Chain A
Amino acid sequence: MSEILQQITTAVMQGKKDEIAQIAQQAIDEGSGAEDILYKGLMPGMDYVSVEFKAGRVFVPEVMRSARAMLNVMEVIKPLMVEKGISMVGKVLLGTVKGDLHDIGKNLVGMMCEGAGFEVRNLGINVEPEKFVEAVKEFEPDIVGMSALLTTTMRSMGDTVKALEEAGVRDRVQIMIGGAPVSQAFADKIGVAYAPDAAAAADKAKELIANSR
């Protein structure tokens, strides 16, 4: 059994997104549980990729493949997880704030968070504060991540925080922000967390989850 989990780990490391679902199905057929597949198969692979990425030996397109490989397995094991009541590391809701159409940085954050074992919902770009509020109520995330590339759209982050407060859901979530003009000082001002890049964002998300439990 551990051999097949090892195969899953290797497939994640190598970003074998197309072959991995079949390996996972085989693992299930041979009696592996969803929890083992997630924590003994997928996560060690992603942890390895994360360490190599930080060391500069693995690059973004390769991390994306590994993350996609992991997601493809999640599709397979999700019904089992729901059945057994096993949860993911946490849920992250992401969006680029109102007035801002910049996409790729936030998508990188999403990918890194998925790689770290989070369930991610990506609201896209130009997301109105009300959209964030609705999604928080419906998706029930642990973390809301907001992105902006322009100094002019940064203020929408404050507006969104205010909207969450007014809707009475601010205390249900932790909020983190990022983007080129965003700084720790600005994050402190609006009372949220900050990460300087996508890899740091995934670490920050894990840290926020750990502190809240």
Chain B
Amino acid sequence: MRANYRVNSGVRFEVLSKDQLQEMFDGVLHVMDKIGLDVHHDRAREILAGAGARVEGKRVQIPPHVVKRSLATAPRSFTIYARDGNPAHDIHIGPGRSHFGPGPTPPNFIDIETLERRPYVRDDARIVATVCDALPNIDFCESLGTISDVHTDLAASYEFATMFPKTSKPIVAWSYGWDDSNDIHQIAVAEAGGQEAFEKRPNYVHYCEPLSPLVSTFEAVDKVIFAAEHGVPVIFTTCALAGGTAPVTPAGIIIQTTAESFMGLVLSQTIRPGLPFFMGGVLSVMDMSAMILTYGAPELSLMMAGATELAHYCGIPLWQTGGCTDSKCLDEQASLEGSLSVFFSALSGGDLCHDVGYTESGMTGSILQTVMMDEAIGYSRRICRGIEVNEETLAVDVIQDVGPDGHYLYHDHTMRHFKTEFWYPNLCDRRNFEEWDADGQKPMRDRVVERTREIAATHEPSPVRPETEKAIAEIMEAAEERVKDKS
């Protein structure tokens, strides 16, 4: 045996020290206790008051011991299960594990046939789910758009109903409020085999988005209550703009968004202690000339890494952001911004990294971007696996075997490791010029489009149970009945 021998598994990366994290955590507690947040939900305020919060009008102040109690009950490690029992599609949340997937709700989508930007339609949800199901480095599914060709109130219900049968990777569901949250949950429960079975093996995560600065909207809070009462793992994430709706400094925006997220934490843990909870959110800067929330800024990656470290310091997982871009098309900017943020996210070990496939600053979803980023994620994951050091990998005996002037191609050692030590690309072209030339000199973007179309046309996800098919039809029929008199 060896004493005092330290092993680094993977690549080490750290933005903040323990002292800095404690100082930021103290800042969060101060904001919650002394400033408080506005909560636009009567029942939520009652629940929070019952937990020990001070309530005055809409303003809710939560003392440190209540926040710490909620942090103590929220789990750091848990599993989100594949609906079909395929263990390869389960997501194990825990230290050092990054998972990736698309994001919710852009109004537009890049059509994979015409490559033009147009409103997001229902069939796009099918394409996104099918492609995500097939991509080796995409772990969870979101729709990349808001469905425009169904009744407005049912966009989220149709989104889930369309995606659920087309991927067995866990879906992060988005909804407007209680009713459509319930549609979604009934579909998931039908496949799980009842509420009790669902609670044992939750197969989706619910996404709730409050407002910055420091406002918990009725809908966001209502959805947290729904999720907590039904045992659905929940994300409570703001989308703050540094310099606009949050302090301009990274430390300041991290403190504010953490406080915003912790409101959902305290509410959810009060209703159901132990419910899996993800801290948010999307932290980026307001571009002071373009006036947008930028999805390609270096500050996004840096602030998300800081937020990840704070979440992990507090013992809860984080809803990360990466693989996104401000570019309007699949080009060099999209590749640069997306790849770097994916790599940074992988390094930070953020638990669920979303928005892989966001383009045009979140205005347009592009599954093409997701497919390109799948490659960047694979690349990043190889680096993050680090360098293994042991007798087998040191290979001194192999070096002796081969000696000067020999080669390693034929050695058993090479044969044992060349598939696992090396990462092999799906899209990056490493062929010689002549082969690339003979194949039509295709640039990366053409290869991305080809691969996307091929997967969309050929991939067959594992189906839902026949009972679930029937349940989905009934649930959507009832949903249509519910909204038929609303414009």
Contacts and interface: CB of A to CB of B under 8 A. Distances in A.
A64 B409 contact: yes
Q: Identify whether the interface residues of A are mostly helix, strand, loop, or mixed.
A: helix
A64 B405 CA distance: 18
A59 B407 contact: no
A43 B407 CA distance: 26
A17 B407 CA distance: 18
A198 B433 CA distance: 14
B414 interface: yes
Given A59-B418, A59-B419, A61-B414, A108 B409 contact: yes
B432 interface: yes
Interface residues of B, number: 13
Contact of B410 (A56, A59, A64, A197): A64
B434 interface: yes
B415 to A, nearest CB: 5
Contact of A103 (B405, B424, B435): B405
Given A59-B419, A61-B415, A196 B434 contact: yes
A32 interface: no
Contact of A68 (B410, B418, B424): B410
B340 to A, nearest CB: 27
A64 B415 CA distance: 10
B418 to A, nearest CB: 6
Interface residues of A, number: 16
Nearest to B424: A56
Contacts of B424: 56
A190 interface: no
Nearest to A60: B409
Interface string A82-112: 0000000000000000000001100110010
A153 to B, nearest CB: 17
A196 B415 contact: no
B407 A103 contact: yes
A8 B262 CA distance: 67
Interface in B425-464: 432-435
Interface in A36-68: 56, 59-62, 64-65, 68
Which A-B residue pairs are the 5 nearest by beta carbons?
A: A196-B432, A196-B434, A61-B415, A197-B432, A61-B414
26 contacts: A56-B424, A59-B418, A59-B419, A60-B409, A61-B409, A61-B410, A61-B414, A61-B418, A62-B415, A64-B409, A64-B410, A65-B410, A65-B415, A68-B410, A103-B405, A104-B409, A107-B407, A107-B409, A108-B409, A111-B409, A196-B433, A196-B434, A196-B435, A197-B432, A200-B434, A200-B435
Interface of B: 405, 407, 409-410, 414-415, 418-419, 424, 432-435
Given A61-B415, A104-B407, 11 more contacts: A59-B418, A60-B409, A61-B414, A61-B418, A62-B415, A65-B410, A104-B409, A108-B409, A111-B409, A196-B432, A196-B434
